[in-house]
Structure 1
């Protein structure tokens, strides 16, 4: 009889474990998650059937290296927190408390890509309506929604953009574009009166013209500056060439004058020697 009771109890534990509810948790890349059930005295935290942390006598030991700086245990609350989440952190986590409040809890964590902030621009406007476009840079697992007050007017899953037509009689209502996934959402309120004001076309045109003239002025200034620099370089080069030519001519002239001076001096010296007294005596002596 006792053996039968043990078998029945064992089967009940197995059935209880098999039917245990798994809590779903969500977060985004780079974010954090705190598992809601505490281990205060003794217990374990495991991920995909691998123990990653153990608590014993008020101390925690991280057993997997990649969690050393990312897994934190609060001694006061007994809660585990994982920071710096990546997509690879998605999976089943089990908190197993062995002392005090004894329990085993399972959590399915899904880490999503962070939601992009939506942007809204006007495509067209007429006397009766205005067409707006809400868009995001990336749309993986992201849903775009247009709200009018608290009513969803339009939505699309995993799309980069979503159109909305606002009729003139609804301009006074409140509108917003929302980008969301199961982990987070980002909202952009839209002022219809401002966004759908036809005057903005003129303003935009003026802004475009102003930017055009500004850019054109800069380009002309740059071209003019380059032109002036080129002229200065050419003028300097010509001046240097002219200076070199003048120096060369001067040197040639100096060399010519030196040769002439040397020839004249030689002639004068020779002539003076011939007319000197010693020279005459040498001539007379030779004649005898």
Structure 2
């Protein structure tokens, strides 16, 4: 996904051919930039019409104080680099080769502050959808990406919204904040942020199943207990009805024997 975002900003990050033959370069403050054309033996690096560096006999002479300890020339590759970039380093540079390969290549260098880190918060949440906002503390190009596809974007913005529907809760969401020099992204777990429980339906069905089994068990237990009670009552009634006859018979026999 990081690669795809970089491809999206490729035109802004490094345009190899621009109007007037000037190549566009983008750098980030505090980092470094290397000009892609080389001076192998003799030549110059110019800022506008000022010569900031001169190469001769494999030695580099820096002529502008603001580039001291920041402008470097690589003897092996012949490339100029600026380290610890600052906003004031933005401008038009020219690499002017005077020996072997004679050419002049110009660059429009723009130094940007680091891209801001985006923050995502829910704005409005219902049972079926969720409105999320991605915000930054300074203007940047903002993008909402779902499953590696850009869903919404806005250049030079402080915030950007997206609506997430419950049926899409299993998709991956991320917000990116970018400038031509870099981009920063934040992944979003919508099941947590929006309160969408991805096993909610399964849990409900499971609870309904357990409740049904529990209800059936209660009914069976009650039926068995009621049947046992009825049988016991009938047995006691039957026993009670037989007991008086037995006593009368015993009394009759006893009186008969006494009379004899």
Matches of 2:154 and 2:20, distance apart in 1: 35
Displacement of 1:26:
0.6
Q: Provide the secondary structure at the position in 1 that maps to 2:181.
A: coil
Query: Following superposition of structure 1 onto structure 2, how do residues 211-230 of structure 1 map, counting pairs within 5 Å?
Result: none
Aligned: 1:118 with 2:132: no
Considering only aligned residues, what root-mean-square deviation do their CA atoms show, in Å?
A: 1.6
- Alignment of structure 1 residues 125-274 onto 2, 5 Å: 125-139=125-139, 142-197=140-195
Structure ID, larger Rg: 1
Give, in whole Å, the separation in 1 of the partners of 2:155 and 2:43.
41
Q: What are the ranges of 5 or more consecutive residues in structure 2 without an aligned counterpart?
A: 1-18, 198-260
* CA-to-aligned-CA distance 1:250-282 (integer Å, 9 cap, x gap): xxxxxxxxxxxxxxxxxxxxxxxxxxxxxxxxx
Question: 1:155 & 1:35 partners in 2: Cα distance?
Answer: 31
Task: Give the deviation of 1:185 after TM superposition.
Answer: 0.9
Aligned to 2:63: 63
String of CA shifts for 1:184-228, please: whole Å, max 9, x gaps.
1111111112222268xxxxxxxxxxxxxxxxxxxxxxxxxxxxx
CA–CA distance in structure 1, aligned partners of residues 49 and 168 of structure 2: 56
Does residue 1:54 correspond to 2:35, yes or no?
no
Q: CA deviation at 1:123?
A: 2.4
Residue of structure 2 in register with 1:101 after alignment: 101
Moved more, 52-61 or 152-161: 152-161
1:57, distance to aligned residue in structure 2 (A): 0.8
- Which has the larger share of strand? 2
The 1-side partners of 2:85 and 2:111 are apart by: 7
3-state SS of 2:137 partner: coil
Query: Any gaps of 5 or more consecutive residues in structure 1?
Result: 1-18, 200-288
Shift of 1:20: 5.7
- Aligned residues of 1:130 and 1:166 also touching (Cα < 8 A): yes
Name the residue aligned to 1:252: none
- Give the conservation status (yes or no) of the 8 Å contact 1:125–1:198: no
Misfit runs of 4+, over 6 Å: none
Q: Give the match's secondary structure for 1:163.
A: strand
Q: Which residue of 2 aligns with 1:31?
A: 31
Contact 2:166 2:196 in 1 (8 A): no
- 1:74-119 Cα distance to aligned partner (Å, 9 max, x none): 1111110011222221111000111122111111111122211101
Q: Indicate if the aligned counterparts of 2:46 and 2:95 stay in contact, CA closer than 8 A.
A: yes
Structure whose residues are more often helix by fraction: 1
Residues 37-56 of structure 1: CA deviation (Å, up to 9, x unaligned): 11111110000110000011
Q: Indicate conservation of the 8 Å contact 1:179/1:185, yes or no.
A: yes
2:200 corresponds to which residue? none
Measured in 1, the distance between the counterparts of 2:41 and 2:95 equals: 13
